[in-house]
Structure 1
Amino acid sequence: MGSVKKAVSKATDAKLTNDNWQYILDVCDLVSEDPEDGGKEAMELIESRLSQKDANVILRTLSLITSLAENCGSRLQQLIASKDFTNKLYGLVKDKSVHLAVKTEVVKVVRQLSSSFKKDPSLRYMNDLYVRISKNYPHLLQDQPDVPGKYEMSHQSKLKEDKDLEEALRLSLLSHQEQERQKQANAGQASADQGEMAPSFTAASKVPSESQVSQQQVQQRSQSASLQSATPPKRVRALYDLASNEPDELAFKKGDIIVVLEQVYRDWWRGSLRGSIGIFPLNYVTPMAEPTQEEILQEQTKESELLSQKRKVDQLYYRMRDERGLREDPTQDASVNELYGTVTPLRPEIAKLIGKHARKREELLSLRQVLANAEATYNQLLDRATNVYTSPLPIQPPPRSNQRPSSNHIVPYPNE
């Protein structure tokens, strides 16, 4: 079981300033393999981590507790909702030496677990703990807005969306038909005389096709509609924590930056965060202003200056490696100390840069998935519409005449 101890220590390391969900999921995987013994060992390690004075260790441990409760089955839930462990959590709340931010996070975890365990009477100690905290420490309860209902968009918005979709499908069909006509025209031009085809081609080139006219009309209508309707922002920042058990909802913490993808309901948007896609309520977030061109240039300049220091970082690394190979003390080398003093201040900026590009990668992966789903849906709708518009009409038989042939009509014999 040494692997569980190593994984818990890694997921709750004091050097982590944010939750590392990969480390947390590694612990969950190990515990799920052996919920009985692995769960007991994990809870013993968690209790010891909660006893430490480092706030980072406690905060990372609280996130691990929530993940174990949600992902590792009823056995872990019973251990977490036990009387002894809930008393341990209550001890953090009433300890005067514990920072207020840590106490607030403990209350958030207790609230979330109390909501998750409310259907199981055997886990009632967690709800009892939340009631106890609410009674004795009400100032630690952060008031959060009520989650709005998932009401459909207005009738006008849905009509506009359906009309735009129908128009897009119609234009796609017209474009396809125009391409087919162009292919046939090109084939005819290749086989005809160049002198005879030149005047007709010139005349045809001056007349816009039906699809071109329709596309211009749709572009004009969409431009005027975009001026009348407000588009959602590209990014929003979370104002509160949202822990949801609904499969289609996005869970996040206060301060998380969410990339907005589309509007789903009147008060809900769909967004992506850390590779996950889901819907979230608008009253839990606030729009983020997009950076100006000047701010973008300043950030690019700062990033270029930081990357230009790579040579010094490599130089320090190789100097340290070579001197260790010679069993010499690198701290006695003045040039090494000078390099170290130059490189060390870069660590916070490098960490920020790594986080920035990691978030950018997650955003691009999420958008790639959304685009793939949208493209598949669009192709299905287009194929369906193509079959409707291009299927031939059934041939009606000619109407039968009720008139009998005249008597003077002569039918010839076959031999005549």
Structure 2
Amino acid sequence: MFRAQNPFDDVVAKATDEHLTSENWQLNMQVCDMVVAGDDATARQCISAIQKRLLHRSANVQLYALTLTDSLSTNCDKIHAEIASRAFMQTITRLVTNRHTHHIVKQRALKLLREWANAYKSDDTLGLVQETMHELKGEYYEIDDEPVKPAAKQADDDEELKRVLEISRKEQEAAERAAAAAAAATSNVSAPTMSTAAPVPATPASDIKSAQPPQQAYAPPQQQQQTYAPPPQQTNVFPTHAHTQPQQPAPQQYAPQQYAPPQPRQPTYVRAHYDFVPTERGELAFSRGDVIRVLASVYEHWWRGELRGMVGIFPVNYVEPLPDITPEQVEQEIAMENTVLAQAGDIDRLLVRLRQIDPTRDNVTDDDELQELYQKTLHMRPQLIRLIERRGPSSTG
């Protein structure tokens, strides 16, 4: 009369709870241990509990359920037959083809399906996984290879060291030229004393990683003075002639040049070219086609941006820059925004009319005023979407 409770329902529900902030690997391993300790019926009960979670409305629950299934596939051989069963493959197909399923969940399911197909290809009894993958790939979705996620670090140490040494060499040459000119302008100064000048030392390689951009960390001493003075190594060579020196040349003539490489300016907005699923805290999740507002460049290959009120870092090779907006476009968008705001009253009137309608006795198709308000609101929809995507949620809230 009553169906026995599935012993995996509770532990699977905890392992895939929608309020989790990350995968609970302790519970995932507990589920794996339960399957390993049981028989084929145990594996069937476990997959049955996971299928219920895959059909949950929350995308978080679905992602955690997929991760749990992959953990079972890796650690429990007896679960392979249940994963390759027609019932479970139909659940995966339903998940991928459902238009309400989040795109990230679909991509995750397709990616795992491809991994399972490669892992099971030597076993003919598990061929339904590969068959399902080919059906979904050919009929519904294209399984794209995502770009390689760059490492979150600064430029390569060797390249940075070469650049710093080159800057130091040029600073030394400029200092020697300035000292030679100062010595030539000084009376009774012998030329060989120029050889006593010490070269400008380069910054140690161990300090490169913690240094600020080169133009700040390796600026020559002459650039920090208002008037020109020889390098510190030269000032003590001729103490008796310091009061007899003529007026020094203009600083522009001898000041060393800045040799810092130009820093690329990041775009204001970028469009996501691929889906990006964060793997570490502080990363910004987005889907293909999302428009992200760039806030800063924090690493060589990572930017910080804002999307739908969320701020985080993301890899540069997952996005493509959008052209900067021109003053004319700014004026056009301001005019469009004013037009939309001027028609905001029509939206309020439409909402009021809709609340007053009684579905049992009113026919909305015969209400001319209601239809007119609806058409006006529908006409504003593309402009609203464009403003939200361009300016971000912070400007519309």
TM-score by length of 1: 0.44
- Larger helix percent: 1
Q: TM-score, normalised by structure 2?
A: 0.45
